[in-house]
Amino acid sequence: MRKVNQHLNNRALLALGEAIRNRRVDLLLSQEQVAAGAQLHRTYVTDVENGLRNLSFLTLLRFAEALNCTLSKIMIETESIDSFEHKAHDQD
């Protein structure tokens, strides 16, 4: 569990996870459906939505694809949830 717990309570990751969850819920998709679309495991999607994974750029793109939107749109939503700019490594 170390790899997951090291990111516990990181504000930026929590905001990203919330943005991804909001988008999924807006589309009436289950975590399983997003996982299938992004070719990821369902528990990984759960971890991302809970802010526990520092996912890579290419994995972010897979989420955008599964959520039928651009990555910039997800980032704009993330920034609207928590203005974490310039705080990236406060808790990392």
DSSP 84: -
Residue matched to tokens 């997003």: 34
Binding mask 8-47 for a second copy (x = CB under 8 A): --x-xx--x----------------------x--------
Contacts of residue 43, Cβ cutoff 8 Å, sequence gap at least 6: none
Q: What minimum distance in Å lies between the beta carbon of 31 and a second copy?
A: 19
Nearest to 66 by CA among 4, 18, 12, 21: 21
Q: Does 81 participate in binding a second copy (rule CB under 8 A)?
A: no
Interface residue with a second copy among 22, 33, 50, 54 (CB under 8 A) is: 54
2 binds a second copy per the rule CB under 8 A:
no
| φ, ψ at 28 (rounded to 5°) | 60, 35
- CA dihedral (78, 54, 30, 27) in degrees, to 10, reads 20
Shortest distance, position 63 Cβ to a second copy, whole Å = 9
Residues within the interface to a second copy (CB under 8 A): 10, 12-13, 16, 39, 54-58, 60-62, 64-65, 70-72, 75-76, 78-79, 84-86, 88-89, 92
